Structure 1
Amino acid sequence: MTVKLTSKSVDALNRASRLAELNRTDTINRALQLYDFVVSAVDGNEKNVLIIERNGKQERILFR
């Protein structure tokens, strides 16, 4: 499989790989699994994804 990534996606991949201490292939595999989980969870607008920071600040993530 060949994938053409935008420069923004390449930067995100490199940053995520570095932070997770994984190679880019493993990072892509994990990212796709997480994306599938999130999209399945919010399918039909029945659920939301909520990020809660340590200070209590909340941010709802929308996928459209």
Structure 2
Amino acid sequence: MPEKKERSTIVEPSRGDPDAEGGTAATSERQPSVAAERVTVNLTPRSVRAMGNLVNWTGYTKTDTINRALQIYEFIQQIMENGGTVHVRQAEGAEPERLTFF
């Protein structure tokens, strides 16, 4: 049986993008640039643990971690809005699993 080729999408800031500091997923449509915004967020205990783990694993600040999480969420939502699906492989050699978001 022939080996399947894996395709990857890299989500990172675009060079020369005025919004690159926060990073974005590459998209075919350019959105108008918007100003930075300060918000207050109430996190659940589960979200606090997740943020702490991500800060420890990545070395990013809490602000950077939240910004990246929102951008990844937008990227995934955009895929699903366009009829696509998102799959993950939890371990080397494991079968890909389709992610379902509620």
TM interval, shorter chain, is 0.7 to 0.9
Using the size of structure 1 for normalisation, the TM-score is 0.87
Mind listing any 5+ residue stretches in structure 2 that lack a counterpart?
1-38
Report matched runs for 1:16-27 at 5 Å: 16-27=54-65
Mind listing any 5+ residue stretches in structure 1 that lack a counterpart?
none
The percent of aligned pairs where both chains have the same amino acid is 35
Matched residue count:
63
Report matched runs for 1:22-37 at 5 Å: 22-37=60-75
Whose helix fraction is larger, Structure 1's or Structure 2's? 1
Aligned-residue Cα RMSD (Å) equals 1.3
Distance in 2 (alpha carbons) for counterparts of 1:9 and 1:55 = 30
Whose strand fraction is larger, Structure 1's or Structure 2's? 1
Q: Which amino acid aligns with 1:57?
A: E
- Runs of 4+ with deviation above 3 angstroms: none
